[in-house]
Amino acid sequence: MEDVLDVRDLRMRYAKTDVLNGVSFAARRGEVLALLGPNGAGKTTTIEILEGFRMRSAGEVSVLGTDPARAGEAWRARTGVVLQSWRDHRRWQVRELLAHLGRYYAPYSTASVRRPWDVDDLLETVGLTGHARKRVQTLSGGQRRRLDVAIGIVGRPELLFLDEPTAGFDPEARRDFHDVVHRLADREEATILLTTHDLDEAERLADRILILAGGTIIADGSADELSRAMSGQSEVRWSRDGQRFVHAADDATAFVRELFRQYGESVEDLEVRRASLEDTYMALVRQAEQGAPRRLTVVAA
Amino acid sequence: MNPALAAARAGLSRGRIEFKQTLTTPRDLISILITTGIFLAVMIWTRHTQVPGTHFSLGTATLVSVLALDVVYYGVVNMGDLIVVEREDGTLLRAKAIPNGMLGYLLGKVVNFSGQIAFVFAIMLLTGALLFTGLAIGRPGSWLTLAWVLVLGLLATLPLGAVLGSLFPSQRSAGPWWLLLLAGLAAISGIFYPITHLPVLLQWTGQAFPMYWLALGMRSALLPNAMAAVEVGHSWRHLATFGVLSAWAIAGLVLAPAVLRRMARRESGSTVAARREKAMRGA
């Protein structure tokens, strides 16, 4: 199947600084990709190049089969960008704005993809039905972000870009947003590329995680695959005779078996924890910063 | 439907919605009414003063000339200022992120400001008809001349406003320049006093800009024909008016797409975010 995203050896240089030096990855249709990385790693630069908002210095980029640097309005109609609102369109009513922005997509409707998204259905999907008649400036921060998401998907994009979509969300809004993303990926078969600092969110949403550090992708795989490949070590905690113990084991099962064989019933409060995505992430980024350029790629089974 | 046509229609409706918002937002409406009111008050004050060399009311002549000032104010200054603001707050970026969004955005602005100008014209002319003497609004030719001068004036100013707005880096840096531009132009364009009383160099400078020709066109439409006597060359110079306004319109229409494209190309989520942070720190 043709890849929705295909990035090869992407390079970006500002003045004398190389921000991206050889980023490569691909995404299939319906995949949700999370792009992680420390601040300044080039996540936003990467996503803006793919959105067609920024010119790259070198490399090959194909987005929905087209080079975004030369893509036209028909390509634009198949993509969605969730932007962070600030003060724009503050006098517009929520429903009025969505209906207006949807009109631009109508000529790009196809037999398989009806564009734009029905406004009332869309309001329902992002949980703004009760605020349809409100002016944008009267919305709370969380409601505004829901509106941002609605604007990003009003054209029923085949590919959606989300740059830190849940920054400033409360837990409930975050949960709702995750539902929307799942619905888009599963029912609409949209491909989604998101950047986030929230590792929990990446683990929950993404089929695949890309870690960008030092201008290249240092890891590419599912959260589970990454932690397994990165460190087979698990943390085992237990207590015995009122004393607490912690041990990092390569083979937790064998270690626990041995533990019980030796101490039997005196072992209490047993906990076995596999390395979390956060541990994996920290270890990988630290490794990259110390100048060990190796790429950890896990081929999906 | 053709995508560009769909976007053009969306743009027209965008303009209508924005115009309606202007009229229903108290701050905007009050600001329009106050600026218009101040001008009218000055004219009413000078109603019985005469244009030098004639027995015609200076107030009436000024009222007609100020219509040109209004076109430049809304068409260049307000248009340009709004583009600066909306580039800063991300409205333009949203337009860029949707198919043919920039076309709809710009058309919306044209409709919105044309509406505002028509609204101000209506107030001015209605007051003029009720309180001033000598306004030649009875002849059909007046309205015809007013119409073509106004349409050319919009074409000469709105693209120019978009171009200037694209050149300023931020609203704060733009503010003082707009005022200087408007006051300077008004002074050398014969809005409040016949241009023939100015030094020759300033007369020529004034005649290089659209405001003078717009004002001349308005006077030719709405003042008695005899008033041509106090103009340069004792004539309404319709051909020259058409020529100069058209030249500005063509220059603006040729320049605007390229300048706007250049500006839009630089817009991205991170540039808007950076400005937001800067504004928040400054606030």
| pLDDT tens digits, B55-64 | 899 999 999 9
The number of distinct structural domains making up chain B is: 1
Task: Kindly determine whether residue B270 and residue A81, on different chains, have CB atoms separated by under 8 Å.
Answer: no
- Identify whether the C-beta of residue B107 lies closer than 8 Å to the C-beta of residue B14: yes
Structure tokens of A283?
Answer: 């270890």
Q: How far apart are CA B247 and CA B266, in angstroms?
A: 29
Contact list, A107 vs chain B (CB under 8 Å): 1-3, 6
Structure tokens of B151?
Answer: 């349409």
Q: Which residues neighbour A198 within 8 Å (Cβ) at sequence distance 6 or greater? A: A166
Question: Is B249 an interface residue toward A (CB < 8 Å)?
Answer: no
Neighbours of A253 (CB within 10 A): 10
| For testing contact with chain B, the best of A83, A144, A156 (most B CBs within 10 A) | A83
pLDDT for position B24: 94
Task: Kindly determine whether residue A83 and residue B272, on different chains, have CB atoms separated by under 8 Å.
Answer: yes
Task: Kindly determine whether residue A100 and residue B9, on different chains, have CB atoms separated by under 8 Å.
Answer: no
- Identify whether the C-beta of residue B111 lies closer than 8 Å to the C-beta of residue B12: yes
Which residue of A83, A92, A101 is in closest CB contact with B93? A83
B22 within a domain of the structure (yes/no): yes
Which DSSP letter does residue B98 get? S
Q: Which residues neighbour A2 within 8 Å (Cβ) at sequence distance 6 or greater? A: A29, A65
Which residue of B94, B96, B98 is in closest CB contact with A88? B94
Task: Kindly determine whether residue A100 and residue B17, on different chains, have CB atoms separated by under 8 Å.
Answer: yes
Q: Does residue B78 carry a pLDDT above 80? A: yes
Task: Kindly determine whether residue A106 and residue B1, on different chains, have CB atoms separated by under 8 Å.
Answer: yes
Contact list, B14 vs chain A (CB under 8 Å): 100
Q: Does residue A106 carry a pLDDT above 90? A: yes
B274 within a domain of the structure (yes/no): no
- Identify whether the C-beta of residue A50 lies closer than 8 Å to the C-beta of residue A198: no
- Contact residues, chain A to chain B, C-beta under 8 Å: 44-45, 47-48, 51, 53-54, 73-74, 76-77, 81, 83-89, 91-92, 96, 100-101, 103-108, 151, 155, 163
Q: Which residues neighbour A301 within 8 Å (Cβ) at sequence distance 6 or greater? A: none
Interface of B with A in 109-168 (CB under 8 A): none
Which residue of B94, B99, B267 is in closest CB contact with A105? B99
Which residue of A76, A87, A96 is in closest CB contact with B99? A76
Which residue of A53, A73, A163 is in closest CB contact with B3? A73
Q: How much of chain A, in percent, has pLDDT values that exceed 70?
A: 95
Task: Kindly determine whether residue B97 and residue A76, on different chains, have CB atoms separated by under 8 Å.
Answer: yes
Top CATH class of A5-225 equals alpha beta
Q: How far apart are CA B41 and CA A258, in angstroms?
A: 97
Q: What is the mean pLDDT of residues A91-107?
A: 97
Provide the mean pLDDT of chain B. Answer: 91
Give the pLDDT confidence of B206-262 residue by residue, as tens digits: 999 999 999 999 999 999 999 998 899 899 999 999 999 999 999 999 998 888 888
Contact list, B90 vs chain A (CB under 8 Å): 83-88
Contact list, A100 vs chain B (CB under 8 Å): 10, 13-14, 17
Q: How far apart are CA B269 and CA A162, in angstroms?
A: 11
3-state secondary structure chain A: CCCCEEEEEEEEEECCEEEEEEEEEEECCCCEEEEECCCCCCHHHHHHHHHCCCCCCEEEEEECCECHHHCCHHHHHHEEEECCCCCCCCCCEHHHHHHHHHHCCHHHCCCCCCCCCCHHHHHHHHCCHHHCCCEHHHCCHHHHHHHHHHHHHCCCCCEEEEECCCCCCCHHHHHHHHHHHHHHHHHCCCEEEEECCCHHHHHHHCCEEEEEECCEEEEEECHHHHHHHHCCCEEEEEEECCEEEEEEECCHHHHHHHHHHHHHHHEEEEEEEECCHHHHHHHHHHHHHCCCCCCEECCCC
Containing B271, the helix (H) or strand (E) segment is helix B269-282
CA distances from B176 to A256, B81, B84, B179, B192 (A): 75, 11, 14, 5, 22
Confidence bin at A301 (pLDDT 50/70/90) = very low
Task: Kindly determine whether residue A86 and residue B14, on different chains, have CB atoms separated by under 8 Å.
Answer: no
- For A148, nearest residue in chain B (alpha carbons): B94
Structure tokens of A225?
Answer: 């695959």
Task: Kindly determine whether residue A87 and residue B89, on different chains, have CB atoms separated by under 8 Å.
Answer: yes
Annotate B126-159 with DSSP letters as a single string: HHHHHH-S----SSHHHHHHHHHHHHHHHHHHHH
Task: Kindly determine whether residue B89 and residue A163, on different chains, have CB atoms separated by under 8 Å.
Answer: no
Confidence bin at A41 (pLDDT 50/70/90) = confident
Q: Does residue A191 carry a pLDDT above 60? A: yes
Contact list, B267 vs chain A (CB under 8 Å): 53
pLDDT for position B264: 79
Task: Kindly determine whether residue B3 and residue A108, on different chains, have CB atoms separated by under 8 Å.
Answer: yes
Question: Is B170 an interface residue toward A (CB < 8 Å)?
Answer: no
Neighbours of A172 (CB within 10 A): 10
Residue type, B251: A
Which residue of A48, A88, A163 is in closest CB contact with B90? A88
Which DSSP letter does residue B171 get? H
Question: Is B7 an interface residue toward A (CB < 8 Å)?
Answer: yes
The verdict on whether omega for the bond into residue B99 sits within 30 degrees of 0, i.e. cis, is no
Which of A111-115, A169-173, A187-191, B147-151 reaches the highest mean pLDDT?
B147-151
Structure tokens of B234?
Answer: 């004792």
Question: Is B90 an interface residue toward A (CB < 8 Å)?
Answer: yes
B259 within a domain of the structure (yes/no): yes
Contact list, A101 vs chain B (CB under 8 Å): 94, 98
- Identify whether the C-beta of residue A220 lies closer than 8 Å to the C-beta of residue A200: no
Q: How far apart are CA A156 and CA A77, in angstroms?
A: 9
> Angle B58-72/B26-45 helices, nearest 10 degrees?
150
B279 within a domain of the structure (yes/no): no
By residue range, what is the domain housing residue B250? Answer: 3-269
Question: Is B8 an interface residue toward A (CB < 8 Å)?
Answer: no
Find tokens 């920039």 and name the residue.
B102
Confidence bin at B36 (pLDDT 50/70/90) = very high
- For B1, nearest residue in chain A (alpha carbons): A107
Q: Does residue A60 carry a pLDDT above 80? A: yes
Confidence bin at B142 (pLDDT 50/70/90) = very high
- Identify whether the C-beta of residue B185 lies closer than 8 Å to the C-beta of residue B215: no
Confidence bin at B91 (pLDDT 50/70/90) = very high
pLDDT for position B15: 97
Give the pLDDT confidence of A220-247 residue by residue, as tens digits: 998 888 877 766 678 899 999 889 999 8
B275 within a domain of the structure (yes/no): no
Buried b (16+ CB within 10 A) or exposed e, B146-157: beebbebbbbbb
| For testing contact with chain A, the best of B22, B27, B98 (most A CBs within 10 A) | B98
